[in-house]
Amino acid sequence: MEVESGTVNLVSKEGDSFPVDTEVARMSELVKGMLEDDSGDDDDTTEIPLPNVKAAVLKKVIEFCSHHKSEPMTEIEKPLKSAVMAEVVQKWYADFVNVEQVLLFELILAANYMDIKPLLDLTCATVASMIKGKTPEEIRKTFNIANDFSPEEEAQVREENKWCEEP
C-alpha cells in the first residue's frame, strides 16, 4: 500500500524527528521515492532518515514545503529581472530567504539533496540576486572571498577580457 495520506516522520542529522503531512513531504523527490520504496511495509508511521540535513535547516525546509502547498511560488524568470527578491517572488518567499548566508547555503544543500526544485530555485535565485549588478570586488566582499590575484595578474586578466566589459 502506497502512503497517500497521514504523516511521515522526517529525521534530521541529529536524530530529531519532525512529523510532516505526507503530501507536504512528497514535495521532496527523495522522500517521495523512499515512500514509494517503503510501500510494502504495514507500519502506520514511516520514518525517513535525512542524515545530510541539520534539524534547524530541516525545520525551514518543512516550513517552505508547507507554505508552498497552500500558496505555490510564482515561477522565477531567468535571467533574474531584479536583485530585489520581493520583485521576483511573493513577499512570503522573499522574507523566507532573508536569512544569514550560512543558513541560505545550508538550505541550498538541503534542497539539492532532498530534490525540492522550487526551494532550490528560490535559494539559488537569492544567491544570484546577491551577485547581480555587483563588481568583482563587491562580490568578493559579499561572500568573504579573498582576491588571490596579484595586481599584475588582475591587470592582465582585465586587459585580456576588455572586450566583454561594458563601455
pTM to 2 decimal places: 0.84
Question: What band does 40 get if pLDDT is binned at 50, 70 and 90?
Answer: low
Could you give the CA distance from residue 44 to residue 41 in angstroms, rounded to a whole number? 9
Encoded amino acid at 26, one letter: R
pLDDT at position 1: 35
- Segment 77-105 mean pLDDT: 95
18 vs 36, more confident: 18
Strands across the sheet containing 46-49: 17-21, 7-11, 46-49
Encode the chain in three state secondary structure: CCCCCCEEEEECCCCCEEEEEHHHHCCCHHHHHHHHHCCCCCCCCEEEECCCCCHHHHHHHHHHHHHHHHCCCCCCCCCCCCCCHHHCCCHHHHHHCCCCHHHHHHHHHHHHHHCCHHHHHHHHHHHHHHHCCCCHHHHHHHHCCCCCCCHHHHHHHHHHCHHHCCC
Q: Which of 110, 133, 19, 124 is nearest to 78 (CA)?
A: 124
**Which of 15-19, 81-85, 147-151 bottoms out in mean pLDDT, i.e. has the lowest?**
147-151
Q: Is the pLDDT of residue 42 over 60?
A: no
Average pLDDT taken over every residue of the chain: 91
Question: What band does 99 get if pLDDT is binned at 50, 70 and 90?
Answer: very high
pLDDT at position 2: 43
Mind listing the pLDDT tens digit for each residue in 49-81? 999 999 999 999 999 999 999 999 999 999 999
Q: Is the pLDDT of residue 18 over 50?
A: yes
Residue 37 backbone dihedrals phi, psi, to 5 degrees: -65, -30
Residue 19 backbone dihedrals phi, psi, to 5 degrees: -75, 130
